[in-house]
Amino acid sequence: MKRMLATVMVVSVVLAFTGAAFAAEVTGKVEASGANTSIKATSVKADDGTAMLSLAGKTIKVVGTKSGDVAKLVNKKVVAKGTLKAENTEIDVTSVSEAPAPKPVPPAPTK
């Protein structure tokens, strides 16, 4: 039992320091500066659906083969799915789409 606990501890420490990559969904506004494209995150969800509140408001650099598709949506709100890397500062995008417009709020009923 002690050996298993020690192994689990070593693995978790190694993963913490290597910044293991994992799937996520980032919603935010696309920004571009020169050849670099990034997303100013308004919300980030892990693959299991849990919110990653520490990344809300952060700028996440877009990398990978789909970065050109993201660059076409500059100044638009998007939903990008992919793999977070480099201690959650980069996303290797696998798919991107323009975020749906928020539903309009119906007017208050009048008496």
Question: Does residue 44 carry a pLDDT above 70?
Answer: yes
- Sequence-ordered list of residues with C-beta below 8 angstroms from that of 56, at least 6 positions apart, any chain: 41, 42, 43, 44
In order of their start, the domains of the chain are 19-98 (2.40.50)
pLDDT, tens digit, 9 for 90 and up, residues 75-97: 999 999 999 998 889 999 999 99
Computed over every residue of the chain, the mean pLDDT equals 86
Please say whether the beta carbons of 74 and 58 come within 8 A. Answer: no
Given the DSSP bridges, would you call strands 59-63 and 90-98 parallel, antiparallel or unpaired? Answer: parallel
Query: Confidence class of residue 35 from pLDDT cuts 50, 70 and 90?
Result: confident
pTM: 0.73
